Structure 1
Amino acid sequence: MIVDAHHHLWRPERGYTWLDDPDLAAIRRPFTPQDLGVELARAGVRHSVLVEGGRCHADEAAEHLGHAADSAANGGPIAGVVAWADVADPDLAATLRAYRGLRGGELLVGVRSQVQGEVDPDYLDRADVRHGLATVAAAGLAFDLVVRVDQLAAAARAAQAVPELRLVLDHLGKPRIDAGEPGLRAWLGPFTELAARPNVTCKLSGMVTEAGAQWTVEGLRPFVAAAVAAFGTDRLMFGSDWPVCLLVADYAGVLDALRQALPPLDPAAVAAVFGATAVRTYGLAAPS
């Protein structure tokens, strides 16, 4: 069983202004649950986690949870939703309660803030943010970390400060894979420090995009090997980052690239990366 722990859906006209960047023209179009179903079926992926897509509005949570409810009712792939929420919002607890009251609210498995958009590399050290992280933990949800490399150290401190919170690092912390060895060196120390926190898991996602149009499996291998060494396979999970990945690779290409980039693993370890870790981390209602 393969679980895609990280993909998006959007309609650009509904507030995804970041897609206005000319370099993103290839993905500036609607991506629907029907489109997703076709991609997953072709790749042999049975379940998935739908992640907020940078709209940064509560209306997106209602839409995504509705997609998940429809999927569950029709035997579709969406097994959980990571919705957007402002982790520094003093009313975060009320927001999370409201999300759970929506149609499909029982499929809310996590939340994410666009921390990567904060200028301050120490944003996660703020008292209001730490309070928000504790609120997410109290709600029984995971918190997805979409952060830059210079924010990884603060992420490690946050993980230590809120040990009851399940933190999920998206895209390996966005290392400069395109920079090769210098990118690996700049990222490895803080990444390893974060991995030392037992309440953190990591998505092997977004790598081809960080590597750029000229990406190769050989270029990915050092980063994947470092992730396996730091986290172990029981804290790593596959994520396609579709449709963002379409800037440089199709869905099947992303899945195949990870299979090739992983070091030799036993069947149980492969099963963890491609499904079991995601099911356990997000508490998905998916068969083991």
Structure 2
Amino acid sequence: MIVDAHHHLWTADYPWLAADGLAPIRRDYTMADLRPHLAAVGVQRTVLVEAGLCNAAETSRFLALAARAAEIAGVVGWADLSDPDLRAMLARHRSGPGGDRLVGVRDQIQAGPDDLLDQPGVRAGLATVAEAGLVNELVVRATQLPSVARAATAMPDATFVLDHLGKPPIAGGRGLDDWKRLLAMVAACPNVTAKVSGLVSEAGPGWTRAGLRPYVDIALDLFGPDRLMFGSDWPVCEVVATYEEVAAVLTGILGGRPGNIFGRTAIRVYRLEQP
């Protein structure tokens, strides 16, 4: 079974969509828009990830949608990790429509300082998510990778998922060695799994398979196929690539669709129910 472990849905009024360069994706994206892409690529199940609105209502809405949409096997909802009411909020999500589809929590760590994951209040939130049996999903900049490694080391019983391979600086064409060194610190933590996602966006217009290959190869070497997951990052990818192109470029680099990267790892890490 092929699983897309990372996609979004949103409406055109999300504030961050007003930024320069995002006009191509400044519209509503629904399951009706996604389904033709899933069919074209052969994806059976997906993980729907919070889309930067940063409020609990979005998570409730996504969970209710997952209860109706058979394709959505899991939802990674948003939460403020420093929220003292986090435990109660997770309980409310789980008791509502689609609450059984909540598989993880993601805060917008990338918007904070490099040491945000070291702050006691945030660490407490990570612990609360782990105690609830949920994945701590991390969207971070490359400079924040050391803090990811520190958090994962300090919390060996928690499960972490690193989005977009830590956002390597592909577009600049420099910094590959530094990113590899930082990523290796995270990969040394056995409780971290990484998503091969978002790379076309980091590369930007004019991306090529050859340009992406070193990053995928390094991730494969550091994490191994059992700790990597395919994610389309649709519709963010549509600024520079189609859903089909994202799937095809990873398939080409890997020489096929390894069952672990394209499904089994996500099923295991997120504890997804299979049809």
- Structure 1 runs of 4+ aligned residues shifted over 2 Å read none
Query: What is the DSSP-based 3-state SS (H/G/I as helix, E as strand, rest coil) of the residue aligned with 2:53?
Result: coil
Distance 1:164 1:98 in 2: 24
Correspondence list, 1:64-79, <5 A:
64-71=62-69, 76-79=70-73
Taking structure 2 as the reference length, what is the TM-score of the superposition?
Answer: 0.98
1:183: how far off?
A: 2.6
Aligned residue for 2:39? 41
Aligned residue for 1:201? 193
Query: What is the DSSP-based 3-state SS (H/G/I as helix, E as strand, rest coil) of the residue aligned with 1:178?
Result: coil
1:162: how far off?
A: 1.0
1:97: how far off?
A: 0.5
Q: Does residue 176 of the first structure (1) align with residue 181 of the second (2)?
A: no
**Unmatched runs of 5 consecutive residues or more in structure 2:** none
Aligned residue for 1:188? 180
Aligned residue for 1:279? 267
- Tell me which of 207, 210, 222 is aligned to 1:218: 210
Aligned residue for 2:77? 83
Distance 1:63 1:38 in 2: 22
Q: 1:68-114 deviations in whole A, cap 9, x for unaligned? A: 0001xxxx311000000011111111111011011000000001000
Aligned partners of 1:33 and 1:67 also within 8 Å: no
Query: What is the DSSP-based 3-state SS (H/G/I as helix, E as strand, rest coil) of the residue aligned with 1:137?
Result: helix
1:179: how far off?
A: 2.2
Aligned residue for 2:11? 11
Aligned residue for 2:222? 230
Aligned residue for 2:120? 127
Aligned residue for 2:25? 27
Distance 1:259 1:42 in 2: 14
Distance 2:40 2:251 in 1: 16
1:22: how far off?
A: 2.7
Query: What is the DSSP-based 3-state SS (H/G/I as helix, E as strand, rest coil) of the residue aligned with 1:23?
Result: coil
Aligned partners of 1:83 and 1:111 also within 8 Å: yes
1:12: how far off?
A: 2.3
Taking structure 1 as the reference length, what is the TM-score of the superposition?
Answer: 0.93
Aligned residue for 2:95? 101
Distance 1:55 1:108 in 2: 17
RMSD, aligned CA? 1.1
Distance 1:178 1:2 in 2: 29
1:145: how far off?
A: 0.6
**Unmatched runs of 5 consecutive residues or more in structure 1:** none
Query: What is the DSSP-based 3-state SS (H/G/I as helix, E as strand, rest coil) of the residue aligned with 2:46?
Result: strand
Q: 1:25-53 deviations in whole A, cap 9, x for unaligned? A: 00000000111112111211100000000
1:240: how far off?
A: 0.1
Aligned residue for 1:114? 108
Distance 2:238 2:175 in 1: 23
